[in-house]
Amino acid sequence: MSESYDIGLGNYDVSTRKSAESDYVGFWENQAKNLHWSSIWEKTLDWNPPFAKWFVGGKLNASYNALDVHQKEKSDKPAILWEGENGDSRILTYREMLIEVQKFANVLKSLNVKKGDRVTIYLPMIPELPISMLACSRIGATHTVVFSGFSATSIRDRIDDSKSKVVITADGGYRRGSIVKLKEVVDEAIQDFDFVKNVIVFERTKTKIAINEKDKLWNDLMNNASDICEPEPLDSLHPLYILYTSGTTGKPKGVLHGTGGYLTHLYSTFKWAFDIKDSDVFFCTADIGWVTGHSYVVYAPLLHGATEVMYEGAPDFPDASRMWNLIQKYKVTIFYTTPTALRMFMKFGDDMPNSFDLSSIRLLGTVGEPINPEVWKWYYKIIGKEKCPIIDTWWQTETGGMLISPLPGLETIPLKPGSGTRPIPGLLISVVDENGIELPANTKGFLVIKNPWPGMLLTLWGDDEKYKNVYWSKYPNCYYAGDYAIKDEDGYFWLLGRADDVLKIAGHRIGTAELESCIVSHDDIAESAVCGIPDEVKGEVIIVFAVLKENVEKNPDVLEKELISKIRTDIGSIATPKQIYFVSKLPKTRSGKIMRRLLKAIANNEHIGDVSTLEDGAAVTEIQTAFEELGKSIKEK
């Protein structure tokens, strides 16, 4: 953990951290003044644990802060540089975005959508998605975006829970050269929902669709809509959106975010972490169906009047050069993606990114999971050419925005590969043991947050008790993140993955993230995933799935011995796997995350559940075959 890189941007601003530490409430009050408020708040924070009310009595509008505030100086500046997977492209300026948003806000009004109503959005990554979100926020409707890879059952659950009055969808979207028929999925999901009054359909692919009684075409509605719609002054605590977390362990949780605190958090963290400048071209690869897309594709960049790239399709279609092509084409200066995507890119070697002009990049970022040190170094050397800071960010759907990250726009500090560095100003974060006692440096424990922050969720939609129990019951008045972490002697945090992603081997607890990071640090391994299967003696034994880098021709038996030796050296003999399988791909969602729950389900011969977000079913078949072979070998022994 001692290796560090002295590279950064911006100026060291020690006064910001000092003011935040001495008075975090007053600190956030000053940050909120960066936004436009129609009415100033009467009280900065009403903290009644575990419920936090930020900027009580203040009124503002998210749409106004994202678009209207830029009309005098940036009306002709590109807001979105959009590219579809099929090669379609569009450029929307801040003036054009405002016109489209106002027109669509009037469309919603014409369909009797009022302040407080919920609207479900099920669209591909096209400009109409942020336009829909901002139109909802303009009139005070609460949007709930559903990732366009979810099945009819998953969408049905979310629409039912939110009781959305309107659903916005498209005839289809492009994915890996095929058309995903979104309208058909919506038809199946809402067939007996009387509370859904209208379905608005955008024609993206010109696919033939059934037009039902509730259906209305986007273009028909927009043609008759006025382009003037005054923004509704909304209470700071007004629900901006509901975003449902994955339902892999039960019913999806509807994370509810407000307006004033959330926007304050995003405005500040986007500025601090990305050192944003008017000349930047920002590219976050996240789908808007996830929180990263809400926060750092839609709201934060637009709050700053930034220009950003928005891309519709798979990151490696038609081949793994797509991202580098987009960076070169649009002269991207800030690139924000996932460690999973980077591991996939690494698999294809250095020649591919090196064949593109990536010299425009000045800052790199990662999000979604801990980044392995070896992946960090590849990103730094091959993509950043050893001149770009890497903003390794940690946060959650529930936190609203980043909580741990380097902040080049605020301060220059040494970067350590694999560490998210320190908390953002105004946050008190600790690593504690099972009893809530703060642990000494370099000791693994549970990550907790000891004070409220503006971006935090208001509650879980319709379930205050579950909100208390899930996040605030483990440690008194502390938010339990559910993650393992280590805080080193320099105060840097090292995230070690979910606390429930733990293998219990002969009484020892081994984090899957630690083991996977060790495996991918081998020169020949691009990706890995581990899981446990029951064992009568040890409780569990470890199974490893590893994907080789391109053109590796080493004998599998030799490579297996090398990996076992490395695991024993780096972690200990207790972590020695029962079996290592070399596979061509791992089961991943369309957003690029490894579906570890599938590995667990297959390993334990359980029902694998909803796999509608799975990118490639062949990966599951390969894993299932591997486990069948394992079962035979165990019986033979």
Query: Cis link prior to 353 (omega < 30° from 0)?
Result: no
Statement: residue 159 has pLDDT above 90: yes
Q: Which two structure tokens, joined as six digits, stand for 228?
A: 């003037």
Query: How far, in Å, CA of 372 to CA of 378, rounded?
Result: 10
| Residue 498 β-bridge partners | 483
* Mean of all residue pLDDT scores within the chain: 90
* pLDDT per position as a tens digit, 138-147: 999 999 999 8
Question: What pLDDT score does 248 carry?
Answer: 40
Mean pLDDT across 276-283: 97
In this prediction, residue 494 carries a pLDDT of: 95
pLDDT at 180 over 80: yes
- In the predicted structure, residue 249 carries a pLDDT above the cut 50: no
Q: What is the mean pLDDT of residues 601-608?
A: 74
Question: Which residues neighbour 102 within 8 Å (Cβ) at sequence distance 6 or greater?
Answer: 135, 138, 226, 227, 228, 229
Question: How large is the average pLDDT for residues 77-95?
Answer: 97
Is residue 294 within 8 A of residue 147, CB to CB? The reply is no
Summarize the confidence of residues 622-628 as an average pLDDT: 73
Instruction: Report the percentage of the chain scoring pLDDT > 70.
Output: 92
pLDDT digits 0-9 by tens, 193-238: 999 999 999 999 999 999 999 999 999 999 999 999 999 999 999 9
Q: What is the pLDDT of residue 636?
A: 47
Reported pTM: 0.86
Q: Which pLDDT value is given to residue 609?
A: 65
Strand residues in 70-138 grouped as ranges (E): 78-83, 89-93, 118-122
pLDDT at 613: 64
439-453, 489-503, 596-610: which has the minimum mean pLDDT?
596-610
Read off the DSSP letter of residue 238.
Answer: S
For residue 509, pLDDT beyond 70: no
Q: Decide if 90 contacts 129 (C-beta within 8 A).
A: no
SS3 537: coil
Q: How confident is the model at residue 600 (pLDDT cuts 50, 70, 90)?
A: confident
pLDDT > 80? residue 456 = yes
What separation in angstroms does the CA of 599 have from each of 100, 581, 620? 44, 13, 8
Question: What letter does residue 578 receive in the DSSP assignment?
Answer: S
**Stretch 453-470: mean pLDDT, rounded?**
96
Region 536-543 average pLDDT = 77
Instruction: Give the pLDDT confidence of 367-417 residue by residue, as tens digits.
Output: 988 888 999 999 999 999 999 999 999 999 999 999 999 999 998 889 999
pLDDT above 90 coverage of the chain, percent: 70
Note the maximum CA span of the chain: 76
Q: Are 353 and 359 in contact (CB under 8 A)?
A: no
CA distance 259 to 225: 26
Q: Which of 59-63, 285-289, 497-501, 562-566 has the highest mean pLDDT?
A: 59-63
Classify the phi-psi angles of 51: left when phi > 0, otherwise alpha if psi is within -120 to 50, otherwise beta.
Answer: beta
**Mean pLDDT over residues 257-266, rounded?**
98
**pLDDT of the residue at 633:** 52
In this structure, of 45-49, 111-115, 188-192, 612-616, the range with the lowest mean pLDDT score is: 612-616
Which secondary structure element, helix H or strand E, spans residue 167, and what is its range? strand 166-170
Tens digits of residue pLDDT in 88-105: 999 999 999 999 999 999
DSSP letters, 256-277, are: EE-SHHHHHHHHHHHHHHH---
Domains (range + CATH), the chain: 505-636 (3.30.300.30)
What pLDDT was estimated at residue 323? 97
Indicate the pLDDT class of residue 634, thresholds 50, 70 and 90.
very low
On the question of pLDDT at 247 being above 50, the answer is no
